[in-house]
Amino acid sequence: MDIAAIREYLGKDWTAVQDRIASSLRSDIGLLNSTNDSILSHSGKQMRPMLSLVMARACSGMPAVDATIRYAAASELLHNATLLHDDVADQSEQRRGVPTIMSLMGPAVSVLVGDYWLVKAVELVLDASDGDMRVIKLFSKTLSDLAEGEMLQLQKAQKGDTDEDDYLKIIYNKTASLFEAACISAAISVNACPEYEKAAKDYAYALGIAFQIKDDILDYAGTDSVGKPLGVDILEQKITIPLLGAFANAGAGEEARIRELVRGIVDHPENRDEIVSFVKANGGIDYAVRQLEKYVGQAVDALSVLEDSRAKEMLVELAHFTARRVF
């Protein structure tokens, strides 16, 4: 089973989410419409709305209701809003294999378009027919998590003192929190029982952590098909799980030396290759892969309370896809 097969299984529900995303972004401003269309034409995997729709079916055995569609669309709009903002913070010139809005049109446009997508995500949550306050609070928490995660990452990049607890908090806030919002809101939208809501939360947490760990592995050991140049995290002074794993296997003196190289990477980008070599020589990628497999296993285990169904099988497959993906 692959992503295309899951989208085919979702059928009209998937089409409804795509239509809701497109219609919510319509504006009287031509430049805004053309910019939005450009972003939508390179929309990536769209994991969050896919998870939302599949989780709703796994919890109910039925196709999505209108609230599910809205929450799923909101999760994708919110995700892209954060990317538009992140590209400014990180000065990223490429995403998904194409130039970023920031590089083409400048940081001001990227921030403004990101703000627009963010507002439209909020509108979709507020306009859902069930009006469940839990979902409003859920997405509000995610917005707060995203901002705090970005600030913590910037703070740690400046100091160069990120440890594994810091790393897990950053990736929870920046990635797993939105996975939780997508999956828990889906369960709420179909009136799932408390046990199923907890399963959705536990699955989303573990899958979100695993998803980001895989991204961080690909930054060291991926290919250009990822859609961004390799080694970007180091150039942005981000200490991620492969480097932390290498630290665990190296002596304190070597760790201190490499941390100093990371702190000075802006002035000496040529040191990136030495840091990448250090990670590979000290088992950093192998360590990260073990952590990835641990969280994928936790995600799959969280689904055990759900009744067996094709949707449940797809959630399991999406967890394994996270581990084996190359983009």
**58-74 pLDDT tens trace:** 999 999 999 999 999 99
Q: For residue 325, what are the contacts with CB-CB under 8 A and spacing of at least 6? A: 214
Q: Are the CB atoms for 186 and 57 separated by under 8 Å?
A: no
Mean residue pLDDT across the chain: 93
> Using CA atoms, how far apart are residues 243 and 287, in angstroms rounded to an integer?
9
Query: What tens digit of pLDDT does each residue of 6-23 get?
Result: 999 999 999 999 999 999
> Using CA atoms, how far apart are residues 46 and 49, in angstroms rounded to an integer?
6
Instruction: Determine the pLDDT at residue 122.
Output: 95
Instruction: Determine the pLDDT at residue 223.
Output: 61
Residue 196 φ/ψ, nearest 5 degrees: -70, -35
Is residue 98 within a helix (H) or strand (E), and if so which, with residue range? strand 98-99
> Using CA atoms, how far apart are residues 7 and 29, in angstroms rounded to an integer?
31
Average pLDDT over residues 132-158: 94
User: Domain span at residue 170?
Assistant: 3-324
228 pLDDT band, cuts 50/70/90, is low
DSSP-derived 3-state class of residue 37: helix
Q: Which residues of 230-292 form beta strands (DSSP E)?
A: none
DSSP-derived 3-state class of residue 95: strand
> Using CA atoms, how far apart are residues 199 and 206, in angstroms rounded to an integer?
11
Q: How far apart are the first and last CA of the chain?
A: 17
Work out how many domains the chain is built from and give that number: 1
Instruction: Determine the pLDDT at residue 200.
Output: 98
Instruction: Determine the pLDDT at residue 193.
Output: 97
Q: For residue 113, what are the contacts with CB-CB under 8 A and spacing of at least 6? A: 32, 35, 36, 39, 84, 101
Is residue 99 within a helix (H) or strand (E), and if so which, with residue range? strand 98-99
Q: Domain of 138: which CATH number?
A: 1.10.600.10
User: At residue 227, does pLDDT exceed 60?
Assistant: no
Question: Picking from 209-213, 232-236, 285-289, which range would have the lowest pLDDT averaged per residue?
Answer: 232-236
Instruction: Determine the pLDDT at residue 287.
Output: 97
Instruction: Determine the pLDDT at residue 129.
Output: 60
How large a percentage of the chain has pLDDT more than 90?
Answer: 84
How large a percentage of the chain has pLDDT more than 70?
Answer: 95
As given in the structure block, the two tokens for residue 105 are 């049109």
Residue 197 φ/ψ, nearest 5 degrees: -60, -45
CA dihedral (64, 320, 304, 44) in degrees, to 10, reads -20
Is residue 94 within a helix (H) or strand (E), and if so which, with residue range? strand 94-95
Alpha-carbon separation of residue 327 from 2, 45, 104 (angstroms): 13, 9, 23
Average pLDDT over residues 173-183: 98
Average pLDDT over residues 255-272: 96
> Using CA atoms, how far apart are residues 234 and 269, in angstroms rounded to an integer?
9
Instruction: Determine the pLDDT at residue 259.
Output: 97
Instruction: Determine the pLDDT at residue 2.
Output: 78
What sign does the dihedral 79-118-188-148 (CA atoms) show? positive
Instruction: Determine the pLDDT at residue 231.
Output: 82
Instruction: Determine the pLDDT at residue 42.
Output: 87
Instruction: Determine the pLDDT at residue 97.
Output: 75
Residue with tokens 């859609």: 227
